[in-house]
Structure 1
């Protein structure tokens, strides 16, 4: 096993530098569209550059949304970094505050370390498999009573399809949030459930998946199986996350 303490410090350094870049470029971002019709901007590229530059000192391969390692390159890797240098590009382009940078360390097909940078609020959520989840320099700690109050509050996506019937059938109240900051809402006990319909990409979810589980929650697909973060095309199935493992819906 790698020295996860030093790698977490490196990820935190990268996340902080990426946050500076994203704040710097917010008023001078140029946006265009990739071949898959997803938006990308100058800020994505600049954030990707600084994160990759810092993580390169680990001598671990780096796979980013903006510089994807082919399956042939990574299928036999024991470890690789999986990053999204700007999650929430549409919100960022609108000058909204709901965007973040995501860094995860994948061991075979499972995250073992991750960080979410909540840029606008200057908050960093991070952990590895042998630590608690930290919020900046303190352990994130909420009582179970606080989570009880939000167990029927679910997170809607602002920019992706939502299954309205699922929310109605399960008597869920909804909050609309952009980007992987939905995972922060679970971590901070502002919501209890995050169902995601349609195929997200691995770099959108890996960091949040790991932090939710490390904080006593759970995330799995609709067959109650863990997600594979080293699949050939990085596409993930629909899934559901619970802030705490004792929060369940019928059928889950």
Structure 2
């Protein structure tokens, strides 16, 4: 599995290169379309999807794939999957279009409804977060890898709460009232999981809509770094279900 993790890190970085090829074009050349739910789809999503799906087919031909850009497999089939890849080729497409660099490639391996391997690559930041069940979490940056772990707030320290840059919510405003001292850090995509995992933030409460492929990789990375990840109304097998839309959840180092 450690070898597979390194292969998936390399794959995520290859997908990132395909994304950057589109990212650096003029915005009118990025092929922005609207999907059925009115969320944006760019040429980068499609390019990354192709790179990831082709490479995973080579690496693990017996493991099926569920991706944001290929999410048509019905539950009647998915319910029999013991293992599958959960992919978001470009998480944070709105951040991609805004050109703020806060978008990621998300790749997770799910076994019996739980994430057991996860990689989040941020192409513009040239930073890759990764984790393997039972092996801790790490960051790869500038050719070097180092371990990461959550940070507990010191007595009297302001609680750093990470929230969505593109999806602020009144529920978040109510949630932070429980902390007399707090700072809110806004960031896009699955990088919010990563900020908690590396100790840059203490808690990430999510009250807006997310899909399974938005959270699988971040889930295992945050947990392996020492955070708790709790989804409202779900048991341990978070990713074995018909509904692809996630309930609210909280990622926390406050324990």
In structure 1, stretches of 5+ residues that fail to align are none
Contact 2:134 2:224 in 1 (8 A): no
Alignment map for 1:98-109 (pairs within 5 Å) = 98-109=102-113
Question: In the aligned structure 1, how far is the partner of 2:251 from the partner of 2:213?
Answer: 16
Instruction: Tell me how many residue pairs correspond in the alignment.
Output: 240
Q: 2:175: which partner in 1?
A: 166
Residues 121-164 of structure 1, C-alpha deviations (whole Å, 9 max, x = no match): 1111112114221211423245x7x5425771101212224211
Give the CA deviation at 1:112.
0.4
Residue equivalent to 2:211? 201
Q: 1:127 maps to which residue?
A: 131
Measure how far apart 1:176 and its partner are: 0.9
Q: CA deviation at 1:187?
A: 1.9
Change (3 A) 1:166 1:177: same
- SS in structure 2 opposite 1:138? strand
Deviation digits for residues 88-115 of structure 1 (CA, Å, limit 9, x no counterpart) = 1011011111000000001021100010
Q: Which residue of 2 aligns with 1:96?
A: 100
Is 2:16 the counterpart of 1:6?
A: no
- TM-score normalised over the length of structure 1: 0.89
Q: Look up the match of 2:48.
A: 47
Mapped partners of 2:98, 2:87: distance in 1: 22
The equivalent residue for 2:82 is: 78
**CA offset at residue 78 of structure 1?**
0.8
1:222 shift after superposition:
4.0
SS across alignment from 2:216: helix
8 Å CA contact 1:100, 1:180 repeated in 2:
yes
Alignment of 1:174-185 (within 5 A): 174-185=184-195
Q: Secondary structure at the match of 2:116?
A: strand
Q: Which residue of 2 aligns with 1:218?
A: 228
CA RMSD of aligned residues (A): 1.9
User: For structure 1, which segment, 133-142 or 118-127, has the greater mean C-alpha deviation from structure 2 after superposition?
Assistant: 133-142
- Residue ranges of structure 2 left out of the alignment (5+ in a row): none
Output the TM-score relative to the length of structure 2: 0.88
Q: CA deviation at 1:198?
A: 2.8
1:151 touches 1:193 (CA, 8 Å); kept in 2? no
Cα distance, 1:224 vs. partner? Answer: 8.2
Greater shift, 205-214 or 9-18, is seen at 9-18
- 2:248 alignment counterpart: 238
Whole-Å separation in 1 of the counterparts to 2:237 and 2:111: 13
